[in-house]
Amino acid sequence: MVRPISTRVQSAAATLGQQLSVWRKLQGLTAQQVAERAGISRGTLQKVESGDTGVSFGAALSVARALGVLDAMVNATDPYETDLGRARADEVLPKRVRR
């Protein structure tokens, strides 16, 4: 069963899409140029920029790469850059967490 997308996730997708759109415009790139560089269709780029949660994760990452912000996105989610991650950095993490 597929769960509905939460409002918070939809909001985050919309914000990320808007930010990628701003990055594109700041660089003076057309939607067609970014779509070609990302290896996706212009329609898929439009979905990414509008925050469509049905677009593939790979498509969104390809757009970020085409805009030169992929590394920043990866670094922003690095758990070892947080207090919790630094505090537990020397621990061996389990391969799976079971309940």
CATH code, residues 7-85: 1.10.260.40
pTM to 2 decimal places: 0.86
Would you state the pLDDT for residue 94?
Answer: 87
The residue whose two tokens read 């700041």 is 26
Residue-by-residue DSSP string for 43-67: HHHHHHHHT-TTS-HHHHHHHHHHT
9's tokens: 């996730």
Would you state the pLDDT for residue 55?
Answer: 97
pLDDT interval class at 90 (50, 70, 90) = confident
pLDDT beyond 80 at 2: no
Residues in the chain: 99
Would you state the pLDDT for residue 93?
Answer: 82
